[in-house]
Structure 1
Amino acid sequence: MPDLHRRTLLRGAAVAAGGAVLGGPFIGFVARGEAGAVGRRPAPHPTLGPVPDLRDGKVRLHLPEGFQYRSFHDTEFPVTLDDGTRLPGRHDGMGAFRGPDGTVRLVRNHEVNNPGPAFGDAAAAYDPMAQGGTTTVEVTRHGEVRRSWTSLNGTMMNCSGGRMPWGSWITCEETVNGPDVGPDFTGTSNVPLTQPHGFVYEVPADGRSDRAPITAAGRFAHESVAYDPRGGHLYLTEDNFGFPSGFYRYTPPVDPMRSGRLADGGRLQMLAVRGRRNLNLAAAQRRHATYPVQWVDIDDPAPRFPYTPGQTAPTTNDQALTYVSRQGWDRGAAYFSRLEGSAYDDGVVYFTATQGGGPAETSTGPIADGFGNGHGQVWAYDCRAEVLRLVYESPGPDVLDFPDNVTTSPRGTLVVCEDNVDDNYVRGLTPRGELFDIALNRLVSSTGADRSNDEFAGSTFSPDGHTLFVNIQASRGMTFAIWGDWSRIGV
């Protein structure tokens, strides 16, 4: 407990070193040291302590005083859904929707890689030899499961995605695997696959996906999406580990707010900074970094590569990973580091660059430890003004280390999940630029193994703001429902 408190104080002292922006539609994000007027009390920074899980009394999380939680769908032991499917692990991105009788309906990704039999009904799978997809579960605000089912199967590496305002979840494949592409970073053959991967798919919150990829939204290492209902654009992040990543937008041919679904056949574009060709935004940024942007077209967003069935394809995975982004780079698109989570709020798309903020890379890849030498950035894109601003840049791993999934609270606080190899936290970043702890992973396996470095993912609030749902993204995944007085801790 004293060590945790000291670490919190260190973060509070260092937060002024992080980058921040201010004004306009960016909800007043400013650095703490700059915003602190004389006599103004800082926002409360809660100290975390052990809290027993209401499921079985075991301590799996440290939370602020007065908070409670319940875990469910823990795949350390087999879990069977109501449709007879054995629940896969690797719970990742997730969206929350209103369910019947006061329940919350969660659509949840499973980031499973490598060829293998699809979970659920193979006849309903997009690719019967792909092991990822989504499951949907109805729970109470306190994490009590009511029913669950398979909502998409036969996809791969379903990492994050985004909740759509018309009542759907868009799930993203963080891969370009397929029978037409050589082995990925695991070295596993893609020959058994029957379909190309690397797309986004729509999953209705109240049913099952039609399994049709939105191919015009690109074939690349997708991470997450966020939709701007005012401008009609779907914004997409790319987590290309060994190469620069891009920030994209997809304009569908039909307004989904009217049609109730995301249509294929639209236009894909990639962000470029005006007058600054191929600007490396993965490098450390100046304070209040602000950039006017433009969008460059991607002419061939959904490539299919030549191959002979039953043989390893001649196109390497690295070639396929950069096929779409190189079209943008050739037109001056900007470089980011590992773009991951994104969230839309009041005309702004916030997104994280997991390894952004350090010394500039001297190469554009492939880079074995990931493109980017920093500990993380949070960016904000003003959809109307077409301006990109830096919200926060971590000054070091003791402050914020590898931000991943992100969501916004009803009060405008960003809720950020960490993905590092040490203690993993869920953290809050307030409109004043103050960073604080919300939850700390203290998992121990049934055999006594330390699982505190398992990452958090899929943070999403219930529609009424009462409950924060968040996943543990590991081979033995689980989901948490967390609740308490959010206003007391500034969330």
Structure 2
Amino acid sequence: MSATRRQILARTGALGAGIAFSGAVSEIYASTAAAADGLGEGPGYGPLVPDPAGLLDLPKGFRYQVLSREGEPLRSGEGRVPSNHDGMAAFAGRRGRVHLVRNHENRASGRIPVPRVEGVTYDPMAAGGCTALELDGRNNVLGERVAIAGTAVNCAGGPTPWGTWLTCEETEDRAGTNGYTKDHGFIFEVDPVDPRRTGAVPLTAMGRFQHEAIAVDPRSGIVYETEDAFQKPFGLFYRFLPERPLGGTGSLRAGGALEAMRVPGVPDLSAVQETGASFDGVEWVPVPDPMAQQTPIRLQDFGPKGITHAQKLEGCYWGGQSVYFVSSFAVSTSGSAGDHFGQVWRYEPHKRRLTLVVVFGPSTDIQLPGESPDNICLAAGGGLMVCEDGDGAQHVYGLTRQGEVYPMARGRQNIGTPEAPEWGEFAGVTFSPDKATMYVNCYTPGTTFAVTGPWC
């Protein structure tokens, strides 16, 4: 959040207007149920229609509901809705209900901190955490409460196969820094139905670093983790081998082994520029000190062969038999081996193979929305939905399996001035279990939307 790809690339003169896509985009969807149904073949839903209310532009036929806004009272009476709406996931509830878990990326002092609630607070001096919303089948809000508090810089995370949310702290601050009373940089498990079941217990064996997102292999229970390190040395791609794989809520507390990915001959993923480039024999190296007692993990000694780094590792999700992860951008002037506007990588565990499947790049078509890939999810129609993160107009945009980009939503809440308008980024895009609703957050001002319409 401290600097965007657009800001960095503008300084280097490498900024283009819009985003183009290349690569074997169909690979991302080939093994998903939505793709098997033959959905998502169209180029989009048409142009965006200006919203008279000035909140969210959508294509004709789509509509939105505002579920929650920062500063409003929480339905639980625990305080106000916190600021900085970020990563999010939707879970099926009883009788057609939906449970949303939403991150709040507050640092030591946020505009509106997550209220400290007994039983779900880790560090009373930290302002981040999660809130949980319960919705009926028509997206009416039935409840809204604090799910975890006292954590820091809760950026993204990911759902587990047993129906919980893993929220990730994107910080390495220790106790005594920024007024914190405990070390930070952990993953926490959150039960969307009853947060007190999971409490506020750091999953220390999963590592202490600048976490971004996770994805769980539903067959083996292995958890893949991205590290969003902006400055060199850049982040690593990890896997966590739990002692009790797929053991249900609380099983990750039993511990396990943390390993980092080594691609032989590739010390920096940004050096790879061609889509379809594939690397066999990927190695997983034990992390010397997962708690980073003395040295951040990405600086630790992984032996004479070193380890593989990448700038801005963010989104992460499981699809078919593979895990996909996103590098939002890379800039050589910041120390990366090469420049790119975003990459999507696929790792096939059964083949130990890593492949670059999508490359985001500059385009001269100013009608194309796009900044850099950040939060990312599989869409209702089998394509991708990607949240934009940068300056200027902010969009949720879609990507078909044929590589066509189309605008899905544009934020209209001006947080700047009439003379110098600014718009908050989108985050946390996710779909309801029945695929009938897209949920998405505006980061600032914190707003959670439910979008319904003729999804195809």
Normalising by structure 2, what TM-score?
A: 0.84
Deviation, 1:334, is 1.5
The corresponding residue for 1:45 is 44
* 2:182 partner SS: coil
Deviation, 1:473, is 1.3
The corresponding residue for 1:232 is 221
Worse-matched range after superposition: 162-171 or 253-262: 253-262
**1:254 and 2:244 correspond:** yes
The corresponding residue for 1:383 is 349
The corresponding residue for 1:178 is 174
Structure 1: any 5+ residue segments left out of the alignment?
1-9, 30-40, 181-189, 306-319, 365-370
Deviation, 1:434, is 2.2
Q: Which amino acid aligns with 1:50?
A: V
- Give the whole-Å Cα distance in 2 for the aligned partners of 1:447 and 1:202: 39
Worse-matched range after superposition: 205-214 or 459-468: 205-214
The corresponding residue for 1:363 is 335
The corresponding residue for 2:290 is 301
The corresponding residue for 2:455 is 486
Q: From 101, 110, 120, give the equivalent of 1:107.
A: 101
Deviation, 1:142, is 4.5
Q: Which amino acid aligns with 2:402?
A: R
**1:442 and 2:406 correspond:** no
Structure 2: any 5+ residue segments left out of the alignment?
1-16, 33-39
Alpha-carbon spacing, 1:113–1:23, altered in 2? closer, same or farther (3 Å): closer
The corresponding residue for 2:314 is 340
Alpha-carbon spacing, 1:205–1:199, altered in 2? closer, same or farther (3 Å): same
Q: From 176, 190, 193, give the equivalent of 1:203.
A: 190
Percent of pairs with identical residues: 35
Alpha-carbon spacing, 1:273–1:42, altered in 2? closer, same or farther (3 Å): same
The corresponding residue for 2:59 is 64
Alpha-carbon spacing, 1:233–1:141, altered in 2? closer, same or farther (3 Å): same
Q: Which amino acid aligns with 2:80?
A: R
The corresponding residue for 2:135 is 139
Alpha-carbon spacing, 1:271–1:250, altered in 2? closer, same or farther (3 Å): same
Q: From 282, 306, 310, give the equivalent of 2:270.
A: 282
User: Is the 2:41–2:401 contact (alpha carbons within 8 Å) kept by the matching residues of 1?
Assistant: no
User: Is the 1:443–1:451 contact (alpha carbons within 8 Å) kept by the matching residues of 2?
Assistant: no
Deviations 1:439-483 (CA, angstroms, capped at 9, x unpaired): 111223598697653111001100000001000112x30101011
**1:266 and 2:238 correspond:** no
User: Is the 1:91–1:111 contact (alpha carbons within 8 Å) kept by the matching residues of 2?
Assistant: yes
Deviation, 1:45, is 3.3
User: Is the 1:91–1:478 contact (alpha carbons within 8 Å) kept by the matching residues of 2?
Assistant: yes
- Give the whole-Å Cα distance in 1 for the aligned partners of 2:334 and 2:417: 44
- Give the whole-Å Cα distance in 1 for the aligned partners of 2:44 and 2:303: 42
Alpha-carbon spacing, 1:433–1:266, altered in 2? closer, same or farther (3 Å): same
- Give the whole-Å Cα distance in 2 for the aligned partners of 1:390 and 1:237: 16
Deviation, 1:123, is 6.5
Deviation, 1:414, is 1.7
* 2:362 partner SS: coil
Alpha-carbon spacing, 1:386–1:273, altered in 2? closer, same or farther (3 Å): same
**1:162 and 2:162 correspond:** no
The corresponding residue for 1:212 is 201
Deviation, 1:254, is 0.2
Q: Which amino acid aligns with 1:97?
A: F
User: Is the 2:185–2:208 contact (alpha carbons within 8 Å) kept by the matching residues of 1?
Assistant: yes
